[in-house]
Amino acid sequence: MLKIENLSVTVADKPILKGLSLSVNAGEIHAIMGPNGAGKSTLGYTLGGRPGYEVTGGSVEFDGQDLLALAPHERAAAGLFLGFQYPVEIPGVSNVQFLREALNAQRGHRDEAPLSGAEFLRLAREQAGMLKFDMEMLKRPVNVGFSGGEKKRAEMVQMGILAPRLAILDETDSGLDIDALRIVGDGINAIMRKADKAVILITHYQRLLDYVVPDFVHVLAGGRIVKTGGPELALQLESEGYEAVAA
C-alpha cells in the first residue's frame, strides 16, 4: 500500500529525514517510536503534504501512485488520513458542516454521489456513538472549547466518517486519560483493523499499544529507521530507553 524509499526532508533548510525507508502493506499496523526531534512528526506531515516540508530526495508510492506529486486534498481523496498531535480549532465552522463538506468533496473526487443530509447524520451518529462522543458536540465549532481528550476523540470520529485506507496518527494518545485511551484504542481497531486498511501510529509511549497491538514497531532516530521488531520492541523501549535499544 505505502512504499517509502530513501526519503529525505528538510524543514527551514534543516535536514530532518535522512534517507528513511518504510513499507506498509494493507492489513498492517505499524508503530513508529523515537526520541524528540527524530523526525516522527516530520514524516507524518510530509506524507500529508503540509507546506514547508521540502522533499530533497527519495520517493513515496501510495496504492501505485506517486504520493509526492499529489496535492494535500488529492492525497486525502486517495484515502490518506493524517491525525494531528495538536488538532486545530476552526471557529465559526461546525463539526457537522466541516465533515459533511469534506466527505462529499472526497466522494466527488472519486466520482461517487454525495450523501444527503439525512444519510450523513446517520453516519455521524453511528461513528460518534462508537467513540462515546456526544452528538451535540459535533454541532459545535471544530475543536473550539474542547479538552485535549475531546479533540482526539473528535478526530477519531472524523476518521470513522472519512473512512481512509491509510491513517497516520501522530501522538493520538497525548492528552488522553485512561478511559479515553481505551475508547480511542477500541475506535482505531474498529475503524482501521481491516484487511484493506493500514495504520501508522506515531507515539512516544507503550500505553496506546496495549489497546492497538501493532504488527511492527520501528525506532526512528537521526532521521532514519534504525531498528524494527514486533510489539515486544515497544516494551523494551519502555524499560530501557531509546539510547540503549537503538545503539
Dist. CA 197–CA 195, nearest whole Å = 6
13: left (phi over 0), alpha (psi -120 to 50) or beta: left
Residue 103 confidence class, pLDDT cut points 50, 70, 90: very high
CATH for 2-246?
A: 3.40.50.300
Mean pLDDT for the stretch of residues 75-86:
89
Q: Is residue 146 over pLDDT 90?
A: no
Residue 188 confidence class, pLDDT cut points 50, 70, 90: very high
Instruction: Please tell me the least confidently modeled range out of 17-21, 92-96, 202-206.
Output: 202-206
Mean pLDDT for the stretch of residues 4-8:
97
Residue 152 confidence class, pLDDT cut points 50, 70, 90: confident
- Show the DSSP H helices in 2-68 as ranges: 40-48
